Structure 1
Amino acid sequence: MGRRLCCFRGPEPSGKNKNIFGTSNNGDADLYSALKNVRVFSYNQLKSATRNFHPDNKIGRGGFGVVYKGTLRDGTLVAIKSLSTESKQGRKEFLTEIDTISNVRHPNLVQLIGCCVEGNNRMLIYEYLENNSLAIALFGPKKMQISLDWSKRASICIGTARGISFLHEEAEPRIVHRDIKASNVLLDRDLIPKIGDFGLAKLFPDTATHISTRVAGTMGYLAPEYALLGQLTRKADIYSFGVLILVVISGRSANKSAWGPDLRSLLEWTWSLREEEERLLDIVDSELVGYPEGEVLCFIKVALLCTQAVSSQRPSMGQVVEMLQSDGSSIDVKSLTQPGTVREIDRSSEYPGSSSGLSKLHKGHQQTDTYAFITSTKNINSSMQASTSEVEPR
């Protein structure tokens, strides 16, 4: 006999002609097709697994909702992402996430176990990772921080690079993540990194340049061409990964302008040290001792290579993986072009030192924070040089 696929039903939602997916019967075929590769849980099963979503089971909050730790009946620990009703991730995006993740498996990607689409509830069930996120390990509450020596940090960078490389170059279809950052890199019990939060994932054909209808990402990690023009390609992820390398090496946040004597962003501060190569080591976390200076310098060089303002000058992730495992001698820091940065600026004042024609912001749009692309690179796309774009901060 053939196997049967069972979906576990909870109480029927109110409303005529509604099924467990909260849609009319006419849409069932598409919905079931999207969910064919994942296990479907009822809302009641997840209530039981989380002790009725008890606050003690809450382990995090992301851009789209709350994450709970749960225990299934068979004892399996899971992470349950319950999307908030205020979430901008609609039904279509939710199903895209399910369909995408269910077909993508790699040691450095968080595994999707199942989902719940019942009534107004939208939930994703992931494997549970014991050591939370890289962000918490580096600069979370003291009791939750993890002491990471250089070998662990290097391994986390390389593993994350392999995960992104898989998304870009091997997954079918190819995937751009859009929000690579320390809080989206999770760590298992052995500190193996796994990239999570595919709610921002975007699928695209091999040769296409996406013009995104809504910029989604995190300040400090945003590639300028994506933040300002909505141009979404693999190169935007590569830029974000370059910033992530600097975060791992320094143990500092990427989205604060508080580093160095001039209170620059982490990327700007690093770039300012490049003239004397050994000074690049000034950014190294003070808790790191006895680290191999040559290897750390190699990683910093790769980070600067990844964050160049002109996206076409950034390497592919496959090349990044190779370089992180080399001695970095082939990278000449002085030949690199200046990185592009996206910075929050005061609408009512001029930005000192801007060289891209953005000394004054356009008036109006009083309710939205505005960000500007700051660079002295002269050969950047001309349409980018005199533009501002409104980006929703997260």
Structure 2
Amino acid sequence: MSPSISSVDHKLSMPTSIFGIKLWVAIIICIALVICFAVCITLCFIFIFRSWRRKHCVFKKSIITSKNLRVPQNTSSPMMNKRLLSRNGWDVEMSFSTPEKHVIYPTDQFCSSGASGIVMTINGDKTEYPSKTMDIRPGKEYTLNEIEAATNGFADENFIGSGDYGIVYRGVLFDHTRVAIKKLIVNRGSLKDFVTEVEAMCCLRHKNLVKLLGYCTEGMFRMLVYEYVDNSNINQWLHESISKLSPLTWKIRMSVIEGIAKGLAYLHEDSEPGIPHQHLKSSNILLDKQWNPKISDFGISKFFGHEWNHAVSPPMGMSGYIAPECVNACILDVKSDVYSFGILVMEIVSGKTSVQYTVTEIEEYLIDWIKLMVSEQKFDQVVDTNLSEMPPLKDLKRILLLALRCVDPDANNRPKMGDVILMLEPRDLLLTDELVPKRASSRRKSFGEDHQIPT
């Protein structure tokens, strides 16, 4: 045994032809190289896999082109009918009445690189949206059978609400994802343009926007399928809550205002061309369970053709939100959105509706009362009486002055929403840091006998 061991030791100690190093050293070096090679291969695989996942989650300056649309001969099947199932959920208003039916299937969609974001083209008509936070998947086309299965034939128990554009029902996808289905009341504009606009809107992705998931155009109907937001809307929490103390604390309200500003800034400034909301009001600001705001009904007038943007009468529920330059013209743009945002901020701070009617049916506008209170330095009288604690005077002044800038009678003097986001930060308005005293028992009386807006 000893001679064998001695022989092995002798062989391991012999120099090799590789720079004359000993055999045992060469063996160790080879083993180390094999291990390093295996580690490098593993790291490369992980890197490539992660890069692949990122590329399949986000568009980076790509173009979606839709051509050769065809209408399927038979789009219904038992499996497709099961994709949507009816289910009750929490009430939520998305402001939607009766309709149009027919499903189009784009069969030649592809993605390619573009310079300015997403450009959707059908027969030469283009709709462009930015590449920032875009989802790679276009909107899904649903059949009428799927929609009816989701709503139990548009049953009353699945009814959510109605508005200028149509009726909204709740439903549930086969994977238990809840959706809100908006059955549009009109079918203006060409079918191809409608599909183009919907496909483009489905690519918009922002945490403060309600996601548009898909659509149905089967028969005489046109319907939109949205994500379901499960905590009602800001209008109901402000004006229909039965609780004496509002669950909307000052911190939550400021967070809601900031979220709305970010969502609007995305529509106005991160989209090409910019997308005006045109119907911004408290009932169109939905809330999730964490009180995150989600803007609904944005850009919906684009689905009805260009003539819808020049309506003679203002949209339902927009009294008090319409900018003065739009009262007669009714041509709403990003500047009028900023005005509506200012009114919405006043509403969130004060807990009062944008317009009230007295016993003599005289309209009293929130903006006029806010201006009066600010001019008289009665900031503490502006705050919602259902708040448990008064906010710091600095924060209160800052948000009210911001709201007043947004409702400037001259549209050119109103800030952009990107600037509004910056102004929401405390450092932008240097105001005193004194606190408003706790409200006295006589506050409701001093709220203004001559200028009170009823709650």
| Same-fold call, TM cutoff 0.5 | yes
Partner of 1:181: 281
> How far off its partner does 1:103 sit?
2.5
Partner AA of 2:182 in structure 1: K
For structure 1, the 5+ residue unaligned runs are 12-17, 23-28, 204-209, 333-394
Partner of 2:340: 240
Partner of 2:413: 313
User: Does structure 2 conserve the Cα–Cα contact (< 8 Å) formed by 1:301 and 1:328?
Assistant: no
Alignment match of 2:205 (pick from 92, 99, 105): 105
> How far off its partner does 1:222 sit?
0.3
Structure 2 SS opposite 1:68: strand
User: Does structure 2 conserve the Cα–Cα contact (< 8 Å) formed by 1:175 and 1:202?
Assistant: no
Partner of 2:40: none
User: Does structure 1 conserve the Cα–Cα contact (< 8 Å) formed by 2:178 and 2:227?
Assistant: yes
* Whole-Å separation in 1 of the counterparts to 2:208 and 2:425: 17
Are 2:221 and 1:121 aligned? Answer: yes
Q: Call closer, same or farther: CA 1:19–1:68 in 2, change over 3 Å.
A: closer
Q: Call closer, same or farther: CA 1:199–1:58 in 2, change over 3 Å.
A: farther
- Please show how residues 189-200 of structure 1 align to structure 2 within 5 Å: 189-198=289-298, 200=300
* Whole-Å separation in 2 of the counterparts to 1:258 and 1:113: 42
Are 2:371 and 1:271 aligned? Answer: yes
> How far off its partner does 1:236 sit?
0.7
* Whole-Å separation in 2 of the counterparts to 1:54 and 1:146: 33
Are 2:146 and 1:45 aligned? Answer: yes
* Whole-Å separation in 2 of the counterparts to 1:200 and 1:226: 18
User: Does structure 2 conserve the Cα–Cα contact (< 8 Å) formed by 1:221 and 1:239?
Assistant: yes
User: Does structure 2 conserve the Cα–Cα contact (< 8 Å) formed by 1:179 and 1:200?
Assistant: no
> How far off its partner does 1:122 sit?
1.0
For structure 2, the 5+ residue unaligned runs are 1-68, 78-100, 106-121, 128-136, 433-455
Alignment match of 2:170 (pick from 48, 69, 72): 69
Structure 2 SS opposite 1:168: helix
* Whole-Å separation in 2 of the counterparts to 1:186 and 1:103: 20
Are 2:313 and 1:213 aligned? Answer: no
Structure 1 SS opposite 2:321: coil
Q: Call closer, same or farther: CA 1:202–1:80 in 2, change over 3 Å.
A: closer
User: Does structure 2 conserve the Cα–Cα contact (< 8 Å) formed by 1:64 and 1:88?
Assistant: no
For the pair shown, the structure with the greater C-alpha radius of gyration is 2
Structure 1 SS opposite 2:356: coil
Q: Call closer, same or farther: CA 1:331–1:220 in 2, change over 3 Å.
A: farther
Q: Deviations over 1:150-186 (max 9, x none)?
A: 1111100000000001111112331111111101111
User: Does structure 1 conserve the Cα–Cα contact (< 8 Å) formed by 2:159 and 2:168?
Assistant: yes
User: Does structure 1 conserve the Cα–Cα contact (< 8 Å) formed by 2:311 and 2:331?
Assistant: no
Q: Call closer, same or farther: CA 1:302–1:331 in 2, change over 3 Å.
A: farther
> How far off its partner does 1:51 sit?
1.7
> How far off its partner does 1:192 sit?
0.7
Alignment match of 1:280 (pick from 379, 397, 408): 379
Q: How many residues align?
A: 304
Partner of 2:75: 9
Partner AA of 1:323 in structure 2: M
Q: Deviations over 1:200-231 (max 9, x none)?
A: 4559xxxxxx9952254411100111222345
* Whole-Å separation in 2 of the counterparts to 1:125 and 1:223: 30
User: Does structure 2 conserve the Cα–Cα contact (< 8 Å) formed by 1:131 and 1:188?
Assistant: yes
* Whole-Å separation in 2 of the counterparts to 1:58 and 1:317: 34
Q: Deviations over 1:31-69 (max 9, x none)?
A: 9x99x8210011111111112211111122222111111
* Whole-Å separation in 1 of the counterparts to 2:152 and 2:158: 8
* Whole-Å separation in 2 of the counterparts to 1:211 and 1:131: 30
User: Does structure 2 conserve the Cα–Cα contact (< 8 Å) formed by 1:115 and 1:124?
Assistant: yes
Alignment match of 1:227 (pick from 309, 327, 347): 327
Identity of aligned residues (%): 34
Structure 1 SS opposite 2:384: coil
> How far off its partner does 1:104 sit?
1.5
